[in-house]
């Protein structure tokens, strides 16, 4: 779209971004409800971790198919389905009295969640000029964290008050009713423009697109950036944060829920700041990733090495720094955009978005298994986070060198490159990217 966005476009975006707020709320609700879930379903730490593993696994698996669905049916229909499944999943969770039914409920929530973000980005692209795309994407993410905020202390108080079934039944019904708002108020394109031709995508063509995106070094670099930066905050806010603070540190549940709000405000503030910075100076993207990962390693060393109960004055800055992982992970999407042709950017973005959720799945499950093996020792169980962080960082460095090699080759051919870089000593023998 060119020119200025209309008032109708802003109302459409507001209606759509509310779906994302609801999706993040439902996504992170188990971060507060985990202890009640263990009692309700009579399960241990490993089985509890499966809730998040299944939900995030469904989300990750649906990222590329979601892009295809949006192309085929339009964002309004996909968003309508998203909000319906989000509500249905929470209603199922409200009445679930067995572990398998609880797992099914969270899988349905993960399915609905997976349909939201890509759909909203497509709406932004259709209704707003290109110069506003980055700002609207950052604002969408920031508003989503309001849902995270509602899923901390307020949800915790509701679960302690009315209880499990009334709380999840109410939020599920409210979400399902919002389906009507999306269906009536969201429009795929501005009025007056011709309806786009929606062609069916052949599976072989889709497979070739995904393969080409994966073989691109910049896409692979974006995948490992996303993998390494966003998973640790997710593991804490989606499942293990409250149990760690309550059972591992001895804090009351209300205090633990309040401490998780630090992640929300850190992400809400850090997102627009980091997005604006890398928009003005793309050369800072990988240095920012490196600074964050190095700092995160120090923060985890403090968390796991502290003797006794950590004071709030230490937990708050540690959580505030770790909360920046979500905003920093957005650099992966910028890499996908820069290193792929326009026709493949959507597919590459979906590939990158899988990275952080795969890491979340692995880490959340590993923490639960290690808690079972160690008798509930969080300091040992959370070492799995360090292991995943180290592995992701190693793979990211490999593809960083290969991406730099591609840039130097393109520069030598006189082609335009997205970021100006200087050759370093370690670039002298950087391996060229594989072609298969």
State the average pLDDT over residues 151-166.
Answer: 82
Does the pLDDT at position 401 exceed 70? yes
Torsions phi, psi for 332 (to 5 deg): -60, -40
Same-domain check for residues 181 and 206: no
pLDDT digits (tens, 9 = 90+) for 87-111: 999 999 999 989 999 999 999 999 9
Asked if the structure places residue 195 within a domain, the reply is no
Q: Give the end of a domain, one of 152, 187, 222.
A: 187
Same-domain check for residues 24 and 101: yes
Enumerate residues 6+ apart whose C-beta is below 8 A from 97. 40
Same-domain check for residues 173 and 303: no
Asked if the structure places residue 139 within a domain, the reply is yes
Average pLDDT over the chain reads 84
The pLDDT, as a whole number, for residue 420 is 66
Same-domain check for residues 25 and 162: yes
Same-domain check for residues 40 and 90: yes
Confidence of residue 22 (pLDDT cuts 50, 70, 90): very high
Same-domain check for residues 298 and 383: yes
pLDDT digits (tens, 9 = 90+) for 105-125: 999 999 999 999 888 877 887
Does the pLDDT at position 72 exceed 50? yes
The pLDDT, as a whole number, for residue 436 is 37
Confidence of residue 435 (pLDDT cuts 50, 70, 90): very low
State the average pLDDT over residues 396-415.
Answer: 80
Tally of domains in the chain = 2
Same-domain check for residues 209 and 307: yes
Asked if the structure places residue 34 within a domain, the reply is yes
Compute, in degrees rounded to 10, the torsion defined by CA atoms 198, 202, 206, 211.
-150
Same-domain check for residues 122 and 255: no
Asked if the structure places residue 192 within a domain, the reply is no
Enumerate residues 6+ apart whose C-beta is below 8 A from 353. 60, 63, 117, 226, 332, 333
Same-domain check for residues 279 and 307: yes
Same-domain check for residues 420 and 362: yes
Confidence of residue 346 (pLDDT cuts 50, 70, 90): low
Same-domain check for residues 152 and 212: no
Asked if the structure places residue 36 within a domain, the reply is yes
Asked if the structure places residue 326 within a domain, the reply is yes
Q: What is the pTM of this model?
A: 0.77
Of all residues in the chain, what percent carry a pLDDT higher than 70?
87
Nearest Cα to Cα of residue 190 among 13, 11, 8, 2: 8
State the average pLDDT over residues 349-365.
Answer: 86
The pLDDT, as a whole number, for residue 196 is 58
Asked if the structure places residue 423 within a domain, the reply is yes
pLDDT digits (tens, 9 = 90+) for 38-71: 888 888 877 887 887 788 788 888 888 887 777 7
Same-domain check for residues 332 and 358: yes
Range of the domain at 75: 1-187
Asked if the structure places residue 59 within a domain, the reply is yes
Range of lowest pLDDT (56-60, 203-207, 405-409) = 203-207
Q: Classify the phi-psi angles of 309: left when phi > 0, otherwise alpha if psi is within -120 to 50, otherwise beta.
A: beta
Total Cβ atoms within 10 A of residue 165: 14
The pLDDT, as a whole number, for residue 406 is 80
Does the pLDDT at position 417 exceed 70? no
Do 26 and 86 touch, CB atoms closer than 8 A? yes
Task: Give the CATH number for residue 278.
Answer: 1.20.1250.20
Q: Give the end of a domain, one of 165, 187, 209.
A: 187
Confidence of residue 416 (pLDDT cuts 50, 70, 90): low
The pLDDT, as a whole number, for residue 404 is 82
Confidence of residue 324 (pLDDT cuts 50, 70, 90): very high
Q: Give the end of a domain, one of 187, 222, 257.
A: 187
């Amino acid at each position: 779209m060119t020119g200025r966005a209309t008032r109708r476009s802003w109302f459409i975006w507001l209606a759509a971004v509310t779906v994302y707020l609801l999706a993040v709320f439902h996504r992170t609700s188990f971060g507060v409800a985990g202890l009640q879930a263990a009692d309700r379903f009579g399960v241990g730490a490993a089985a509890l971790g499966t809730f998040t593993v299944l939900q995030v696994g469904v989300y990750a698996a649906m990222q590329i198919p979601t892009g295809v669905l949006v192309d085929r049916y339009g964002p309004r229909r996909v968003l309508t389905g998203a909000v319906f499944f989000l509500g249905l999943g929470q209603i199922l969770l409200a009445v679930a009295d067995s572990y398998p039914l609880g797992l099914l409920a969270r899988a349905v929530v993960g399915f609905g969640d997976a349909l939201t973000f890509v759909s909203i980005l497509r709406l932004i692209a259709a209704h707003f000029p290109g110069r506003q795309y980055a700002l609207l994407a950052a604002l969408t993410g920031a508003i989503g964290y309001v849902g995270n905020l509602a899923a901390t202390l307020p949800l915790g108080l509701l679960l302690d008050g009315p209880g499990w079934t009334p709380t999840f039944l109410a939020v599920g019904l409210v979400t399902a009713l919002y389906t009507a708002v999306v269906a009536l108020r969201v429009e795929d394109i501005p009025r007056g423009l011709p309806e786009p031709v929606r062609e069916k995508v052949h599976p072989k063509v889709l497979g070739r697109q995904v393969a080409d995106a994966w073989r691109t070094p910049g896409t692979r670099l974006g995948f490992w950036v996303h993998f390494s930066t966003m998973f640790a905050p997710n593991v804490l806010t989606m499942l293990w944060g409250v149990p760690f603070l309550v059972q591992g540190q001895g804090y009351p549940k209300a205090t633990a829920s309040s401490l998780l709000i630090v992640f929300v405000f850190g992400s809400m503030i850090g997102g627009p700041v980091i997005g604006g910075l890398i928009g003005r100076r793309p050369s800072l993207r990988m240095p920012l990733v490196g600074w964050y990962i190095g700092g995160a390693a120090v923060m985890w060393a403090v968390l796991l090495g502290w003797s006794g109960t950590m004071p709030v004055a230490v937990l708050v800055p540690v959580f505030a720094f770790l909360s920046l992982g979500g905003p920093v992970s957005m650099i992966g999407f910028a890499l996908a955009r820069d290193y792929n042709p326009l026709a493949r950017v959507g597919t590459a973005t979906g590939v990158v978005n899988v990275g952080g959720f795969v890491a979340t799945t692995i880490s959340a499950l590993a923490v639960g298994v290690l808690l079972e093996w160690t008798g509930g020792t969080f300091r040992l169980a959370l070492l799995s986070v360090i292991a995943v962080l180290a592995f992701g960082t190693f793979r990211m460095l490999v593809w960083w060198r290969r991406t730099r090699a591609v840039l130097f080759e393109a520069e030598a051919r006189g082609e335009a490159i997205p970021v100006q870089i200087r050759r370093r000593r370690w670039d002298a023998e950087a391996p060229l990217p594989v072609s298969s």
